[in-house]
Amino acid sequence: MPIAFISHADCLLHDVGYGHPERPARLSAIQDSVLSSAVGSVVEQHDAPMVERQHLERVHDPAHISRIIDMAPAEGVLHLDSDTAMMPKSLNAIMRSAGAVVYAVDLVMQTDTRTAFCSVRPPGHHAEHNRAMGFCYFNNIAVGAAHALEQHGLERVAIMDFDVHHGNGTEDIFLDEPRVFFGSSFQHPLYPGSGFDTVSPHIFNIPLAAGTSGVEFQQRVEERWLPALDQFRPQLIMISAGFDAHIEDNISHLELRETDYAWVTSKLKAIADKHAEGRIVSVLEGGYALSALGRSAVAHLEALIGN
């Protein structure tokens, strides 16, 4: 069955300057790798729409939404913090990145499409209820999950985050929402320094020490995530797909490879097939070593379609 590949040219136009790791070439690396691989023949390309404000307001403070929209500069670069900046074409990319996930949820809930990958930027999992940070402005995957709950009436949505950084924004938004199972694996200590001590019956974090290998990562996932996720019986699985824990990515010190991303994706797919009619929405987060990013995304997509 084809996989929906959702992106937009606007996401390539958000560019806050030379040397910033969250750069347009990330999407080009994924696109080129996918189209030159066998999986390229089974992806269906979709343009991401703009998100509607009502979708953002399900997870973000209205004042935060207005602040991001109103601060968008007409020229130059505006720094929200040392990592997070906006330029004139940033806002369209921000709005399409969140809109892509809402659209992806509608696809897997309302059509024969069962799997979607949102190849969008800027990422979102660090954006909290009322705060932009860590290259993130609105929390794309949280916007999509809230849409699944409120628009489609789901009672159990799982968000699984294997980015090398803790998904602090997603945790902040859903900390008191038991309808959302949240699992985040991440290097600790590392930015943003959160998640290692979270205690919650529906949040399952996996802090990993620098130097953690793929074998150790898989063991922790088997122990920490999979039994609890199976017991939760998600009606939809959403994936914050960050590929910056790859051994070639110098933003961190974990030692994952493409095979580890394929393995964890296949495990999540098995649970989606069992409980969620195979429905999975995956959303790009981090990943900054371009060759490793492209190869990892292909491995992820191959596992999503069952190859």
pLDDT of residue 1: 74
Q: What does the pLDDT look like over 187-234, one tens digit per residue? A: 999 999 999 999 999 999 999 999 999 999 999 999 999 999 999 999
The conformation of residue 18, written as its DSSP 8-state character, comes to T
Rounded (10°) CA dihedral 146, 55, 140, 6: 110
CA 103/CA 74 separation, integer angstroms: 28
The number of residues making up the chain comes to 307
Task: Confirm if 182 and 228 have CB atoms less than 8 A apart.
Answer: no
CA 218/CA 225 separation, integer angstroms: 10
**Residue-wise burial string across 263-300, b where 16 or more C-beta atoms lie within 10 A, e elsewhere:** bbbbbbbebbeebbebbbbbbbbbbbbbebbbbbbbbb
Alpha-carbon separation of residue 81 from 24, 77, 88, 132 (angstroms): 20, 12, 17, 9
Residue tagged active-site, from 126, 166, 246, 275: 126
Q: How many CA atoms lie within 13 A of 306 on its CB side?
A: 11
Instruction: Set out the domains of the chain in order of their start, with CATH numbers.
Output: 3-304 (3.40.800.20)
Number of helices and strands in the chain (H, E) = 10, 10
CA 141/CA 122 separation, integer angstroms: 12
Say what the pTM is: 0.98
Q: What does the pLDDT look like over 125-184, one tens digit per residue? A: 999 999 999 999 999 999 999 999 999 999 999 999 999 999 999 999 999 999 999 999
pLDDT of residue 307 exceeding 90, the answer is: no
* 246 given a catalytic annotation: no
- Percentage with pLDDT > 90 across the chain: 99
